[in-house]
A and B are shown apart, each in its own frame.
Chain A
Amino acid sequence: MAYFPDRPLPSQPLPVVVTGAGIISPLGRDWAGNVAGFRAGRTAFSPISLFDVSRQRVGTAGQADITDSAPDAGISRKSWSRMDRGTRLAWLAAREALADAMLAGGEIPMIVGTSAAAMPIGEDYFQHALATTKNRGSQLRRVELYQAQRQLTSMARELSISGPLRIVSNACASGANAIGQAFHLVRSGRAERVLAGGYDALCQMVFSGFDALQALTPSGLPRPFDAARDGLALGEGAGFVVVEAAAAAKARGARVIAKILGYGATTDIHHLTQPHPLGDAALASMQAACAMAGLVPEQIDYLNSHGTGTLLNDLAEGHAIQRWAGDAVGKIKVSSTKSAIGHLLGGAGAVESVICLIALKNQFLPASLNVRETDTVCTFDLVRTPREADVQRVLTNSFGFGGANATLIFGQEGFT
């Protein structure tokens, strides 16, 4: 990562692989639980129990199953008690990724995407500050623990990671950008391996925000790419991967889950919260990732769409996919896994990357659930039930508030 003019970098990009992955979502607390959930085509929405939604328009979301008590191993009760819900999710997924990669921490960089960060602690601070000027010690604790960098520095300590920490907050593309940035660090020879991922937990303020925008589906069941879709459902979770130089992975005998073949990132300046109607930036992001990977669209076996279930997003993304694939659009298999677990905001891109790895390793395509009548924009093959398939190369899209667009492409180890 460092810049010293007299320390040259490799002249050619290095091959990059994923050697560890971890995931927690409303469908399960680990890789195996999520494989089972996506293969079965389950949805995971339930009434919200984390905060008061009695006066909201919508009262359901995808909630992850974690308890308030510390897990039995790997972290002290004290450290767990100081973690906000989001960082707990992140820690669980990051720990799984490191264990999967057979790593015990080390001096490696950590790049993490989040949007809401430790907002529930900020909400507590706000409400206490309005109510009283007493309890200064408790308020100081809340101020300190609210800060994402404080939480993630503590998480790094708990994982025995001592490298630099970078926190990306590009709204709903944060997790994908974090993995993309890790990919570039390794590809350019700046780092041998990086722990990267994203997370977000449900919180009242963000839930109220999406409700105020009337972006949440009143039915509680999102239907991405349905002609009558009426909004998204929020969810929570985390996804982490160990991104590593192929040579370094080989040297230490690490198992390779997948190669990272390409990454594209663009900025949509059309509007703060609305995508360009024809998906210009989404198209550019997919094209950039494919160009880096040396692939044409028909070589992509599965496209995990951003697919929020809102009217504007799905239309723009659908147009972008049509323009990107051209005459091959009918062959492109697309689904939105947000239909099963909801929109994980800053965690979405990372969790959906891990879902793509699940598709690669388990040779099936997760589905766009709950679709009754497909939108006319779906000239691609919308996967409506889980489907066994030969999956060699997968692409995932993430688009965020503010116009951050990101695309990642993963491939089977043997693919060149």
Chain B
Amino acid sequence: MRKPIAITGCGAVSPAGWGVAAMMSALDSDVKIPPSSLARRVGEKLIHTPVLRVPEADATTPKFARLRRTSPISKFAAAAAAEALGHDRLTKIAAGNLSVGVIFTLTNGCVNYSNRFFGEALADPMLASPILFPETVFNAPSSHLSALIGSTAPNDTLIGDSAGFFSGLDLAVEWLERGEVDGCLVIAAEEIDWLSAEGLRFYSQNYLPAEGAAAVYLEAANGPVNLLRLPDPVSLSANSRDQAALKIRAQLAPVNDGLTLLVDGRVGIPRYDAPETIAWADWTGPRWSPRMVLGEGMGVAAGLQVVAAVTALTCSRFQRAVVTAVGGNQQAAGLSLTTKPSL
């Protein structure tokens, strides 16, 4: 038997607000969050892109010197990480009594500063800001997180599509099983910028680009919510999205008894949702589709799905949950969770 793996902390920053409670409230109410608009001018033309942004009010970003100059992605991630870890764990880490690894998953990364820096470099490379450039590197946000919590334990950043969060969980399980860390924080975050927002809408004008952060804290122990299955992601190198969705469902082997919660990755655009719609067409149990409420958060979307599922189990609303996502150009992936301890 393998070591049991528990998820014992969650954090979220989403267009619904700062914190898991705000997100769950939005999912429960099923009320559409009003989009805002990004505007920019190209020649005579004004381009408006509707987006779901994280509200500025009630921000819970921890105060930390290295976060002063960062773009929103690092601030979102820090807030979600602090919520997932909680005060007691943060104190233990600071005292050197808890070794916590950090795994950061993303699709776009620090696109705000990439936009600004490259614009400056094109205008006049001699005047391009040396302060901006380091923040454009994919692992800048995860570096800030390790510094924030004061952890020198391993830190990895993984790039992937909107199912990439599961690869981060997979790596966390490895670290925990070989005892490399006491606990592992897996975080996904994204920030809105016209570059990525307009890019997403080239796929479909019905996409509503979103931003935020999701964090889960894992330990090698039994907890209120335990990992039941985390299959290998199914690569799209040898499978269509339809095939991959079916394979990942087969690997997850959820009990279709009407009692297991399914948290899927559908976003409300039939063409892109089709693989999951087909693969789970016979599902009789409760089914949530957080992206339909929170928008297309790309790299953060599956993280928020996992946070929603864990929170639903923690509150004893369900005894089992299965979470899936079929990414756009890398993989289909998923996991199943239970409130029962592993033997």
Which residues of A pack against B, CB within 8 Å?
Answer: 1-9, 55-57, 109, 114-115, 117, 122-123, 125-127, 129-133, 136, 139-140, 143-144, 147-150, 153-154, 156-157, 161-171, 177, 181, 184-185, 188, 190, 204-205, 208-214, 265-269, 272-273, 281, 284, 400-404
- When the two chains form their complex, are residues B151 and A163 in contact, meaning their CB atoms are under 8 A apart? no
Complex interface: stretch among B195-203, B274-282, B308-316 = B195-203
Band of interface residues on B: 35 or more
- When the two chains form their complex, are residues A5 and B342 in contact, meaning their CB atoms are under 8 A apart? yes
Q: What A residues does B330 contact at CB under 8 A?
A: 149-150, 153, 165
Interface residues of B in 18-38 (CB under 8 A from A): none
- When the two chains form their complex, are residues B133 and A267 in contact, meaning their CB atoms are under 8 A apart? no
- When the two chains form their complex, are residues A281 and B152 in contact, meaning their CB atoms are under 8 A apart? yes
Q: What A residues does B200 contact at CB under 8 A?
A: 143
Q: CA of A266 to CA of B155 in the docked complex: distance in angstroms?
A: 7
Question: Which 4 residue pairs are nearest across A and B when measured between Cβ atoms?
Answer: A402-B143, A162-B238, A209-B133, A208-B121
- Selected contact of A188 from candidates B174, B230, B327, CB within 8 Å: B174
Interface residues of B in 160-176 (CB under 8 A from A): 160-161, 164, 167, 170-171, 173-174
- Selected contact of B159 from candidates A55, A154, A167, A185, CB within 8 Å: A167
Q: CA of A7 to CA of B229 in the docked complex: distance in angstroms?
A: 11
Q: A187 → chain B, closest Cβ, in Å? A: 9
Which residues of B pack against A, CB within 8 Å?
Answer: 1-2, 4-5, 42-43, 45, 47, 66, 102, 107, 114-115, 117-119, 121-122, 124-126, 128-130, 133-140, 142-144, 146-147, 150-161, 164, 167, 170-171, 173-174, 177-178, 194-195, 198-200, 202-203, 227-239, 251, 327, 329-331, 342
The total number of A-B Cβ pairs within 8 Å is 234
Q: CA of A132 to CA of B230 in the docked complex: distance in angstroms?
A: 45
Please, which residue of chain B has its CB at the minimum distance from the CB of A7? B2
- When the two chains form their complex, are residues B139 and A171 in contact, meaning their CB atoms are under 8 A apart? yes
Q: What A residues does B119 contact at CB under 8 A?
A: 126, 130
Q: What B residues does A157 contact at CB under 8 A?
A: 237-238
- When the two chains form their complex, are residues A5 and B2 in contact, meaning their CB atoms are under 8 A apart? yes
Q: CA of A132 to CA of B121 in the docked complex: distance in angstroms?
A: 20
Please, which residue of chain B has its CB at the minimum distance from the CB of A132? B42
- Selected contact of A402 from candidates B142, B236, B238, B331, CB within 8 Å: B142
Query: Mostly helix, strand, loop or mixed at chain B's interface?
Result: mixed
A169-B202 contact in complex given A4-B229, A272-B144, C-beta closer than 8 Å:
no
Q: What A residues does B136 contact at CB under 8 A?
A: 205, 209
- When the two chains form their complex, are residues B139 and A125 in contact, meaning their CB atoms are under 8 A apart? no
- Selected contact of B4 from candidates A5, A184, A265, CB within 8 Å: A5
Please, which residue of chain A has its CB at the minimum distance from the CB of B161? A149
Q: B71 → chain A, closest Cβ, in Å? A: 13
- Selected contact of A131 from candidates B5, B42, B158, B329, CB within 8 Å: B42
